[in-house]
């Protein structure tokens, strides 16, 4: 009988941690989650689940879905607005306090143990075991999965926090006139093109709207002015703001290692977010599942290391995220052209919906370029340079931006 607290300790009970715990527990593997907050807890997040998540989840999350989205109202720098609608929903709106509480409950019902209100401060590896350090006491396990989100305590401690670009986003929960909540219950608002990598969204919830702006952390000075101008441009009759907060969005920009000996990192802690959209829940869930599968193989002796975890994250997630990064450079060079393409070209609009629904992926966008594919690499290199130069210009101008001024 092992003297460890569990075979696997998971740090953090976000989607990555709870799904990994659920997948391990249903196989009868002993798993302990250490979570710093007490649940339910607010999480700075749009709470938008793309359709492809539903097919990845091992159970239904129907009870926490507040709205189904099948329309997007696009705008470019607050103007040139148009509405695009699809027959099938492609985004499902949730509040993260309810979603995360449900995922954790599923893990616990499957047999995972959880201690909340406990903050992990460090980690030590020994031959055949890992020690997780907290202020109250230390815990040991054969394996540890770091799912602690953008704070990345574990990934930094074990040298797995490299090649991560810093994004950031603001999120507000705002009440509005009931008529507007009903009118826009199936519509997301999306504005883009204002500054390189910047975008803003409205997600309708059951009794309010979640509104956010995001982009590179280096251009954070643009975000508040952008936010104020954006909410004005939507025409929604907003009332009380319940909460407004910012949070980092880490974006891994190169393939790399996602494990160090007996430790794996998942989700935001590994920088697995989409550089185009900031979507991270899907990648948290998939990497959580991969970590559970690699743990089970290692513990049963089918695998002698956690290398298969790193390989899967690189092959199945990073390949896709790096393609999204390339598309992001092209988009940020010619945002108005892309905006017009989404408006005028049904193939482009349908392709957008299919990527969100998981029927297509970013790699297919590359394939669809057909005879233009050979020029793709060159176009990406030029775009990358142009976006970087543009970002430097915006950064300089950003230092003169008044917090309340709308961007120009």
Where helices occur in 82-211 by DSSP H, the ranges are 96-110, 153-157, 178-183
The nearer residue to ligand FAD, 41 or 366, going by C-beta atoms, is 41
Per CB under 6 A, 280 contacts ligand FAD: yes
* Minimum distance of ligand FAD from residue 188's CB (angstroms): 10
- How many residues are present in the chain? 408
Q: Which residues 104-143 are close enough to bind ligand FAD by CB under 6 A?
A: 119-120
- Residues 216/91/337/376 CA torsion (nearest 10 deg): 70
Q: Which residues pair with 250 in a beta bridge?
A: 166
Binding mask 187-226 for ligand FAD (x = CB under 6 A): -------------------------x--------------
Per CB under 6 A, 12 contacts ligand FAD: yes
Nearest to 403 by CA among 178, 170, 186: 170
Per CB under 6 A, 35 contacts ligand FAD: yes
Q: Which residues 44-83 are close enough to bind ligand FAD by CB under 6 A?
A: 44-48
Pick the binder of ligand FAD from 284, 292, 322, 401 (CB under 6 A).
Answer: 284
* Minimum distance of ligand FAD from residue 18's CB (angstroms): 8
How many other β-carbons are positioned within 10 Å of the β-carbon of residue 302?
A: 10
Per CB under 6 A, 171 contacts ligand FAD: yes
Per CB under 6 A, 335 contacts ligand FAD: no
Count the site residues for ligand FAD by CB under 6 A: 39
The nearer residue to ligand FAD, 52 or 383, going by C-beta atoms, is 52
* Minimum distance of ligand FAD from residue 299's CB (angstroms): 22
Q: What are phi and psi of 91, to 5 degrees?
A: -130, 145
Nearest to 201 by CA among 187, 191, 209: 191
All residues at 6 or more sequence positions from 276 whose CB lies less than 8 Å from its CB, including other chains? 324, 325, 327, 328, 331, 362
- In 96-208, DSSP assigns E strands to 113-116, 120-126, 129-134, 138-146, 164-176, 187-192, 199-204
The nearer residue to ligand FAD, 174 or 380, going by C-beta atoms, is 174
All residues at 6 or more sequence positions from 403 whose CB lies less than 8 Å from its CB, including other chains? 224, 225
Per CB under 6 A, 318 contacts ligand FAD: no
Binding site for ligand FAD (CB under 6 A): 11-17, 34-37, 43-48, 119-120, 147-149, 151, 153, 169, 171, 212, 247, 249, 267-269, 273, 278-282, 284
């Amino acid at each position: 009988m092992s003297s460890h607290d569990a075979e696997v300790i998971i740090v953090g009970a976000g989607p990555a941690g709870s799904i990994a715990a659920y997948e391990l527990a249903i196989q009868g593997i002993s798993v302990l989650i250490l979570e710093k907050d007490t649940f339910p807890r607010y999480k700075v997040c749009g709470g938008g689940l793309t359709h492809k998540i539903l097919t990845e989840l091992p159970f239904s999350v129907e009870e926490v879905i507040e709205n189904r989205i099948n329309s997007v109202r696009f705008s470019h720098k607050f103007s040139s607005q148009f509405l695009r609608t699809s027959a099938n929903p492609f985004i499902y709106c949730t509040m993260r306090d309810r979603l995360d509480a449900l995922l954790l409950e599923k893990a616990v019902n499957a047999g995972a143990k959880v201690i909340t209100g406990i903050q992990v401060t460090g980690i030590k590896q020994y031959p055949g075991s890992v020690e997780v350090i907290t202020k109250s006491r230390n815990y040991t396990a054969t394996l540890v999965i770091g799912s602690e989100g953008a704070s990345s305590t574990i990934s930094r401690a074990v040298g797995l926090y490299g090649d991560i670009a810093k994004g950031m986003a603001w999120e507000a929960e705002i009440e509005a006139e009931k008529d507007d909540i009903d009118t826009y219950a199936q519509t997301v608002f999306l504005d883009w093109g204002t500054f390189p990598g910047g975008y803003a969204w409205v997600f309708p919830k059951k009794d309010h709207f979640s509104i956010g702006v995001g982009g590179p952390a280096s251009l954070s000075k643009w975000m508040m002015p952008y936010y104020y101008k954006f909410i004005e441009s939507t025409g929604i009759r907003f009332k009380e703001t319940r909460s407004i907060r910012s949070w980092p969005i880490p974006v891994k920009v190169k393939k790399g290692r996602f494990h160090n000996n007996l430790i794996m990192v998942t989700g935001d802690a590994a920088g697995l977010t989409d550089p185009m959209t900031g979507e991270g829940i899907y990648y948290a869930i998939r990497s959580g599942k991969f970590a559970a599968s690699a743990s089970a193989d290692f513990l049963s002796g089918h695998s002698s290391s956690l290398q298969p975890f790193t390989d899967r994250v690189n092959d199945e997630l990073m390949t896709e995220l790096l393609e999204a990064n390339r598309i992001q450079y092209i988009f940020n060079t010619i945002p108005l052209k892309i905006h017009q393409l989404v408006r005028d070209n049904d193939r482009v609009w349908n392709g957008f919906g299919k990527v969100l629904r998981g029927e297509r992926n970013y790699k297919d966008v590359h394939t669809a370029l057909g005879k233009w594919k050979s020029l793709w690499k060159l176009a990406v290199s030029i775009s990358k340079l142009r976006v970087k130069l543009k970002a430097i210009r915006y950064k300089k101008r950003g230092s003169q931006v008044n917090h309340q001024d709308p961007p120009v």
